[in-house]
Amino acid sequence: MTQLPIVLKGSSFTLPVLYLYDADPIVIRKALEEKFSHAPAFFHHAAVIVNVEVLTSEVDWYQMQEAIISTGVFIVGISGCKDEQLKTMIIRSGLPVLNTGPLTTSSKNNLIPVVVSSQISQHKTRMIFSPVRSGQQIYAKNTDLVVINSVSEGAELVADGNIHIYGMMRGRALAGANGDYTCQIFCTSLLAELVSIAGHYWMMDQIPAHFSNKSARIYLKDDILTIQKLN
């Protein structure tokens, strides 16, 4: 049987969404540089989607595109474009304009995408027993994710439900990836690079220092990330 030269399959990826709220490329570049300085390894060569919902064709798109990629990220697509002239400029610049569903974010500075779904079906919990190595991403679609081992720096856990880590947690944990604000993160030893629930997130330096290497529960209370000890 002859092997086909290519196979095209559907897949699921969790990509950061960069929301632009200013049309000045210089302002955007400086804001990104400041944001990325807090976690340069996390954002270096990261693939992002850029949301231009509030921008119009008055923006110099080519300068804006250059300002963004000059900070070290790769733009893989544009979302939220409402201006036809701007859409034409974006396409001419070599980028695809994506048709997306409704997106929400906890603040203008958030870079974590949240897709709101009115129907969230629950499936059997996904269990991971082996260590999660740097560079690995594990996604639990429509269910909880339980890791009975350590999670290395540079690894990423994504779940539409809750996330439980029964080992050293040094990577990134994104619970409620489909917009479920009731989801939580449970760690027996918290040293995470990033934790996120339904788009609300903390980088490593935002997690209260006295929880470092401690067991912790992270959840949302009144749309604010909250953390408490498990014991």
State yes or no: pLDDT of 10 exceeds 70.
no
Residues 154, 168: Cα–Cα separation, whole Å: 13
Question: What is the pLDDT averaged over residues 185-205?
Answer: 91
Mean pLDDT of the chain: 83
Residues 178, 102: Cα–Cα separation, whole Å: 11
Instruction: Read off the pTM.
Output: 0.54
Question: CATH topology for 17-92?
Answer: Alpha-Beta Plaits (3.30.70)
Q: What was the pLDDT predicted at 1?
A: 55
60-101 pLDDT, tens digit per residue, is: 999 999 999 999 888 989 999 999 999 999 999 999 998 754
Residues 229, 214: Cα–Cα separation, whole Å: 7
Best-predicted range by mean pLDDT (35-39, 119-123, 152-156): 152-156
Output DSSP code: residue 80. -
Q: Where do the structural domains in the chain lie, given as residue ranges?
A: 17-92, 126-229
Contacts for 190 with CB less than 8 Å, ≥ 6 apart:
169, 207, 211, 212, 213, 214, 215, 216
CATH code that applies to domain 126-229: 2.160.20.70
- 3-state SS class at 187: strand
The single-letter code of the amino acid at 179 is: G
State yes or no: pLDDT of 137 exceeds 60.
yes
The single-letter code of the amino acid at 43 is: F
